[in-house]
C-alpha cells in the first residue's frame, strides 16, 4: 500500500469515483480485537420490533419487478429497500471482486456497487477481503453486528459519518459466499434487533438471486456481443468475397462461365467469350451450349466431370478442347463447382492453354534438337541436385554408358561402368562440393570400362548453378573423347616411334663412327699381312720386309684394340665420380623426372623410402640411370594391363651385409623362368620396341659399384627388379677399403 | 723401277700410307703415298700416276673434291676410292662420277688387284 495509506489518509480506490474510502490491506492487525467490536449476540437480547410482513412483501415484489424491468440498477434498488425496511441511516452491498468492479467469488477485496443513505457518496469504495468487516462475516459465515468497527479497522476512520452499528449479512451463490448486504446506524437513535436480522437474511437471499440474474444477464450480453461480432465478420467476409469474385470475373484474367448440367451457359465473362470468339449477343440467344462446344472425343471426359460434380459438388481441373466459333480448336484447362451440392447450376474457370501448348511443343522440339545434337556430338549431360542427391542423365549419356535409357541412376550403377582406377564424375562432384562448400566449376577426365572390356575416355565440364528454389545443382556436359584420345595416343606412339628411330639413327651414326675407327687399323692389318705373305712367298723370301710388315700388323692390331678400349670407356663412363649418394634423394629426383611419363601411362606410383637410409659411395648420375631404367621397364611392363590398377612400388631399405637395397615392383606381364638367365644379356629384350641394352648396362653400372642387380617373379602378377649396394660404412671397412681400391683401379 | 706403273695412294691414315704402297710394290707396281690431296696436287707425280687410290674422307680436299679438280684439269687418272665408312649409298654415286671402284676398308688383296686391273684397263 502507499505511504499515504499507511499514514491513515483516505485513498480513493477508483479515481473516477468520488469515494474516499480507504483500503488498507497492509494493516493486518487491528487496533482492538475483533471480539471487542462485535455485539451480534445482543440482537437476540434486545427488544424486537414486530414484523411488518406487508411492507416486506411489497418490498420484495418491488424488487422482483425492478429486477425484471431494470436489472442494471437492481443493486441500488436493493440498497434502498434495505434502508427502507430496516430504517437505517445507510445501506449497501459489498461484492467480492478481483479487478475492483467485476464480481468474482475468488476476489481479494470487496467493492460497494450500490449504497443508499448517508454513505451513498462512497459508492465504488470497498474493504480488503482479509482484514475488514465483510471479510469477518465471510470467515465466520454468519450475520455479524459491529459497533464502531473503525476501532479495529482504522482505515475506516475517514469514512464519515462513522458507523455506530453495522449489521452485515452474507449471501451465497452455489454454496459460496460472494458478498454481503449491510445496514448502518450512524447514531444510537435506533439499535438493530432480531427482526432486522430476519429481514436482512431474507433480503440476502434476494441479493443472491439478483447477483445470479445479473451474472446471467452479463453472460447473455457477452454471448450476444460475440454473436453480433461473428455475424458482422461473416457479413464483411461475404461482401468482401463477393467483391473479390466479381473482380475476378470482371478482370477477365481467366474465363469464368456459369452453366447448367444440361448444357446451357447462363453467364460468361469477356475472357471466356473472347477465347471462343463469341459475342455477348451470341450468348443471349441461348444457342451457345457448352455441350456443343466440346469436340466428340472429349465428351467422355465431360461425362466423368459431371459424375464427379454430382458426387462431390466439384470437379477437379482437367484439360480438354473447345471449338471456337470458327470451328478451330482451343486447348483449355477447366475446373469448377456446383453452386449448391444438389443443384444443377455451377461455375467453372477456363484457362486458355494455347500458349502453354505452343511452349510445350517448342520445348519438345528443343529437347529433341538437344538430344539429336548430343547424339551427333557424342555429348551427354548429367545433373546432380545436392540437397536431394538426385542424379539425372540425358538419353545420350545412357547410350554412351551403354545402359538402358531411364533406369534409375545410382552410385552403384555408375561404378559398374567407371574404370576401377578412376574416380567417377559424381564422386568428383561430391569431392569438389565438400572441398569448396559448393558452387565451383571444374573439369574432369575419367574412363569407362565397358562390359566387353573396351575402354572409353570421358571428358566432363561441370558447372554449379542454383535453381529457382535456391538449391545447389551441378550440371555437367560429358563428352566421349575416345576417338580423340586414341588419335592422341596414336600420335604419341608415332612420336615415340620417331624418337626411337632417331635414337636408332644416332646409334647407326655411332656404329659408323666405331666402324671407321676400327676399320682403319683393320685395313692396315690386312694389307700388311698380305704384304708379309707376299714377301715370305718371294724367292728368296724378303725376311726383313716380312718382319717389318708383321711388326706393322701387330702395331695396327694394338691400335684396333685401343679403339675398342676407348669405346668401352666411352660407354661405361669410366671416369665415374665416387661421391656419397643418398639413394632416397636420388630416387626422389628420378621420380620427379619420370612422373609425367608414369602418369601418362596411368601408373599408380607408391614410394616406400626407408628413414635414415645409409648413404652409398658411387656415381650419382649412373645410379640414377639405373633407377630410371628400372622405373621405365616397370611402367612398360604394365602398358597393356587393363584389368587391374597399374601399381608400381619403389622401395628403399637396408639389407643384409650392411647394404642398401632399391627395389622396383610392378604388376605387369612379368617374365618366364627360362627368360630369367637372359634378362641381363646385351641385346636381349622382351619388348617389341626395346633395344635390349638397358638391363645389361644397368647391371654393368651396379657391378662397377660392387653391387648386384637381380630380378624375381612376384607371387602375384608382375616382377621385382632390385639392386643392392654396400653402404658407406661397409665401404670404409677393411674389406670395403680393398673393394674401394679395386673400384678406383678399374676407374683408372 | 722402270716399266712399273705408278700407283699413287692418298690417305690421311698413316698405316694405309705405310702398308698399301708396300703391298702394291710386292704386286709389281710402283707406288707413292701422299697424306692429302693438296700434297698430291703439289707434287710432280700427277702425270706419272696411272691409278689413284684415294681416301674418300680427308681433312682439306676430300677424295671426290680431288676427283672434280682432276676432271676440271682434264687429267684422266683412273681412281679407286677407299673408305672406312661402309655407306652403300656412296659407292654407286662415286662410280657414277667416274670412279673405277670404291673399296670398303678393310679390303682384301684380291679385291684391290681386281680393281687395279680394271683401272689400268681403262687407260
- Which residues of chain A neighbour B15 with C-beta distances below 8 Å? 520-521, 523-524, 528, 552, 555-556, 559
- CA dihedral defined by B23, B24, B30, B31, rounded to 10 degrees? -80
DSSP-assigned beta bridge partners for residue A330: A322
Chain length of chain B: 123
Where do we find the cell 558452387? Answer: A439
Phi, psi of A683 (to 5 degrees): 65, 15
Rounded-to-integer distance, Cα A648 and Cα B24, Å: 65
Q: What is the pLDDT of residues B19-44, one digit of tens each?
A: 999 999 999 999 999 999 999 999 99
DSSP-derived letter for residue A194 is: H
B65 part of contact set with chain A, CB < 8 Å? no
pLDDT of amino acid B78: 96
- Which residues of chain A neighbour B27 with C-beta distances below 8 Å? 534
C-alpha cell at A469: 528454389
Which H or E run includes A378?
none
Residue A699: closest CA among A638, A618, A623, A631: A623
- pLDDT < 70 stretches in chain A: 1-30, 98-102, 241, 437-439, 494-513, 566-577, 596, 677-678, 681-694, 729-748
- Which residues of chain A neighbour B110 with C-beta distances below 8 Å? none
B72 min Cα distance to partner chain A (Å)? 30
C-alpha cell at A507: 646409334
Contact B16 A523 (CB under 8 A): yes
A542, closest residue in chain B (CA to CA): B26
pLDDT of amino acid A644: 86
Residue A22: closest CA among A33, A44, A43, A6: A6
Rounded-to-integer distance, Cα A474 and Cα A429, Å: 8
Rounded-to-integer distance, Cα A737 and Cα A743, Å: 10
Cβ atoms within 10 Å, residue A215: 14
Torsion-angle region of A135 (φ positive above 0: left; ψ -120 to 50: alpha; else: beta) = alpha
Contact B20 A527 (CB under 8 A): yes
Chain B 26-55, CB below 8 Å of chain A: which residues? Answer: 26-27
pLDDT of amino acid A529: 93
C-alpha cell at A181: 448486504
Contact A559 B15 (CB under 8 A): yes
Q: What is the pLDDT of residues A571-587, one digit of tens each?
A: 554 445 678 999 998 89
Residue A1: closest CA among A13, A14, A15, A19: A13
Complex ipTM above 0.85? yes
Omega cis (within 30) before A161: yes
Residue A482: closest CA among A461, A449, A462, A455: A455
Chain length of chain A: 748
Residue A409: closest CA among A444, A430, A383: A383
C-alpha cell at A654: 637396408
Rounded-to-integer distance, Cα A166 and Cα A88, Å: 9
Omega cis (within 30) before A540: yes
Cβ atoms within 10 Å, residue A744: 10
Contact A524 B15 (CB under 8 A): yes
Residue of A530, A549, A556 to mutate when probing chain B, most B C-beta within 10 A: A530
- C-alpha dist (Å) from residue B68 to A100, B42, B43, B53, B94: 144, 16, 18, 15, 11
Rounded-to-integer distance, Cα A548 and Cα A330, Å: 122
CB nearest A526 (choices: B22, B26, B108): B108
Contact B109 A520 (CB under 8 A): no
Are the beta carbons of A554 and A562 closer than 8 angstroms?
Answer: no
C-alpha cell at A668: 605387369
pLDDT of amino acid B121: 85
Contact B84 A535 (CB under 8 A): no
Residue of B12, B16, B18 to mutate when probing chain A, most A C-beta within 10 A: B18
pLDDT (average), residues B45-63: 90
Rounded-to-integer distance, Cα A537 and Cα B32, Å: 23
CB nearest A519 (choices: B19, B105, B108): B105
- C-alpha dist (Å) from residue A687 to A498, A501, A637, A671, A691: 17, 15, 8, 11, 8
pLDDT of amino acid A184: 95
pLDDT of amino acid B61: 86
B103, closest residue in chain A (CA to CA): A523
Q: What is the pLDDT of residues A248-288, one digit of tens each?
A: 777 777 888 889 988 899 889 888 999 999 998 998 898 88
CB nearest A549 (choices: B22, B27, B105): B22
- C-alpha dist (Å) from residue B117 to A554, A624, B76, B112: 30, 58, 16, 9
B23 part of contact set with chain A, CB < 8 Å? yes
Contact A523 B107 (CB under 8 A): yes
Amino acid at each position: 500500500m502507499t505511504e499515504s495509506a499507511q499514514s491513515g489518509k483516505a485513498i480513493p480506490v477508483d479515481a473516477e469515483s468520488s469515494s474516499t474510502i480507504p483500503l488498507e490491506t497492509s494493516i493486518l492487525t487491528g487496533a482492538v480485537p475483533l471480539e471487542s467490536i462485535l455485539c451480534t449476540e445482543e440482537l437476540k437480547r434486545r427488544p424486537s420490533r414486530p414484523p411488518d410482513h406487508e411492507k416486506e412483501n411489497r418490498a420484495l415484489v418491488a424488487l422482483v419487478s425492478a429486477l425484471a424491468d431494470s436489472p442494471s440498477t437492481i443493486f441500488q434498488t436493493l440498497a434502498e429497500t434495505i434502508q427502507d425496511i430496516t430504517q437505517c441511516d445507510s445501506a449497501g452491498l459489498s461484492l467480492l471482486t478481483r479487478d475492483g468492479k467485476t464480481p468474482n467469488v475468488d476476489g481479494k477485496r470487496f467493492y460497494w456497487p450500490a449504497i443508499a443513505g448517508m454513505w451513498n457518496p462512497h459508492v465504488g469504495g470497498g474493504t480488503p477481503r482479509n482484514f475488514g468487516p465483510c471479510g469477518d462475516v465471510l470467515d465466520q459465515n454468519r450475520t455479524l453486528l459491529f459497533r464502531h468497527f473503525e476501532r479495529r479497522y482504522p482505515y475506516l476512520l475517514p469514512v464519515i459519518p462513522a458507523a455506530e452499528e453495522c449489521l452485515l449479512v452474507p449471501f451465497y451463490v452455489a454454496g459460496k459466499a460472494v458478498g454481503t448486504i449491510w445496514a448502518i446506524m450512524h447514531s444510537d437513535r435506533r439499535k438493530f434487533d432480531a427482526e432486522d436480522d430476519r429481514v436482512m437474511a431474507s433480503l440476502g437471499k434476494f441479493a443472491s438471486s439478483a447477483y445470479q440474474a445479473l451474472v446471467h444477464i452479463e453472460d447473455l450480453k457477452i454471448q450476444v456481443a460475440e454473436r453480433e461480432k461473428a455475424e458482422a465478420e461473416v457479413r464483411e467476409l461475404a461482401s468482401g468475397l463477393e467483391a473479390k469474385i466479381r473482380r475476378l470475373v470482371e478482370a477477365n484474367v481467366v474465363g469464368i462461365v456459369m452453366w447448367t448440367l444440361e448444357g446451357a451457359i447462363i453467364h460468361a465473362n469477356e475472357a471466356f467469350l473472347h477465347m471462343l470468339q463469341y459475342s455477348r449477343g451470341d450468348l443471349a440467344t441461348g444457342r451457345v451450349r457448352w455441350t456443343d462446344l466440346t469436340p466428340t472425343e472429349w465428351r467422355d471426359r465431360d461425362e466423368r466431370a459431371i459424375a464427379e460434380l454430382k458426387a462431390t459438388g466439384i470437379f477437379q481441373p482437367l484439360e480438354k478442347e473447345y471449338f471456337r466459333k470458327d470451328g478451330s480448336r482451343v486447348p483449355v484447362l477447366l475446373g469448377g463447382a456446383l453452386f449448391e451440392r444438389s443443384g444443377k447450376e455451377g461455375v467453372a474457370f477456363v484457362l486458355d492453354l494455347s500458349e502453354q501448348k505452343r511452349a510445350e511443343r517448342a520445348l519438345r522440339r528443343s529437347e529433341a534438337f538437344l538430344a539429336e545434337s548430343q547424339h551427333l556430338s557424342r555429348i551427354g549431360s548429367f545433373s546432380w541436385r545436392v540437397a536431394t542427391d538426385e542424379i539425372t542423365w540425358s538419353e545420350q549419356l545412357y547410350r554412351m554408358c551403354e545402359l538402358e535409357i531411364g533406369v534409375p541412376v545410382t552410385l552403384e550403377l555408375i561404378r559398374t561402368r567407371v574404370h576401377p582406377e578412376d574416380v567417377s564424375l559424381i564422386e568428383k562432384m561430391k569431392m569438389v562440393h565438400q572441398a569448396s562448400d559448393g558452387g565451383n566449376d571444374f573439369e574432369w577426365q575419367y574412363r569407362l570400362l565397358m562390359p566387353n572390356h573396351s575402354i572409353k575416355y570421358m571428358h566432363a565440364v561441370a558447372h554449379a548453378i542454383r535453381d529457382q528454389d535456391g538449391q545447389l545443382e551441378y550440371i555437367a556436359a560429358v563428352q566421349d573423347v575416345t576417338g580423340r584420345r586414341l588419335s592422341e595416343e596414336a600420335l604419341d606412339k608415332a612420336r615415340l616411334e620417331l624418337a626411337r628411330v632417331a635414337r636408332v639413327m644416332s646409334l647407326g651414326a655411332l656404329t659408323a663412327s666405331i666402324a671407321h675407327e676400327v676399320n682403319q687399323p683393320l685395313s692396315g692389318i690386312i694389307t700388311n699381312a698380305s704384304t708379309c705373305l707376299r714377301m715370305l712367298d718371294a724367292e728368296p723370301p724378303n725376311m726383313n720386309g716380312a718382319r717389318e710388315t708383321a711388326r706393322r700388323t701387330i702395331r695396327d692390331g694394338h691400335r684396333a684394340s685401343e679403339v675398342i678400349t676407348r669405346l668401352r670407356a666411352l660407354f661405361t663412363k669410366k671416369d665415374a665420380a665416387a661421391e656419397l649418394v643418398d639413394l632416397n634423394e636420388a630416387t626422389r629426383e628420378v621420380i620427379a623426372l619420370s612422373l609425367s611419363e608414369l602418369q601418362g601411362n596411368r601408373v599408380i606410383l607408391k614410394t616406400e623410402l626407408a628413414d635414415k637410409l645409409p648413404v652409398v659411395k658411387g656415381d650419382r648420375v649412373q645410379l640414377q640411370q639405373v633407377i630410371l631404367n628400372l622405373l621405365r621397364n616397370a611402367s612398360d611392363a604394365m602398358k597393356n594391363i587393363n584389368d587391374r590398377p597399374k601399381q608400381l612400388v619403389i622401395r628403399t631399405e637396408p639389407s643384409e651385409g650392411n647394404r642398401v637395397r632399391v627395389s622396383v615392383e610392378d604388376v605387369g606381364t612379368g617374365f618366364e623362368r627360362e627368360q630369367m638367365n637372359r634378362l641381363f644379356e646385351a641385346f636381349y629384350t622382351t619388348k617389341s620396341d626395346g633395344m635390349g641394352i638397358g638391363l645389361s648396362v644397368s647391371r654393368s653400372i651396379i657391378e662397377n659399384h660392387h653391387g648386384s642387380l637381380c630380378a624375381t617373379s612376384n607371387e602375384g602378377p608382375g616382377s621385382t627388379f632390385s639392386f643392392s649396394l654396400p653402404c658407406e660404412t661397409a665401404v670404409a671397412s677393411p674389406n670395403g677399403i680393398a673393394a674401394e681400391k679395386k673400384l678406383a683401379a678399374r676407374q683408372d | 723401277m722402270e716399266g712399273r706403273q705408278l700407283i699413287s695412294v692418298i690417305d690421311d691414315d698413316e698405316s694405309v700410307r705405310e702398308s698399301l704402297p708396300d703391298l702394291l710394290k710386292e704386286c709389281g707396281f710402283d707406288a707413292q703415298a701422299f697424306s692429302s690431296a693438296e700434297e698430291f696436287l703439289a707434287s710432280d707425280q700427277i702425270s706419272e700416276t696411272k691409278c689413284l687410290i684415294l681416301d674418300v674422307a680427308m681433312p682439306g680436299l676430300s677424295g671426290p673434291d680431288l676427283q672434280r679438280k682432276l676432271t676440271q684439269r682434264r687429267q684422266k687418272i683412273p681412281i679407286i676410292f677407299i673408305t672406312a665408312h661402309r655407306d652403300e649409298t656412296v659407292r654407286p654415286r662415286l662410280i657414277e662420277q667416274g670412279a673405277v671402284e670404291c673399296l670398303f676398308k678393310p679390303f682384301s688383296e684380291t679385291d684391290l688387284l681386281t680393281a687395279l686391273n680394271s683401272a689400268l684397263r681403262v687407260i
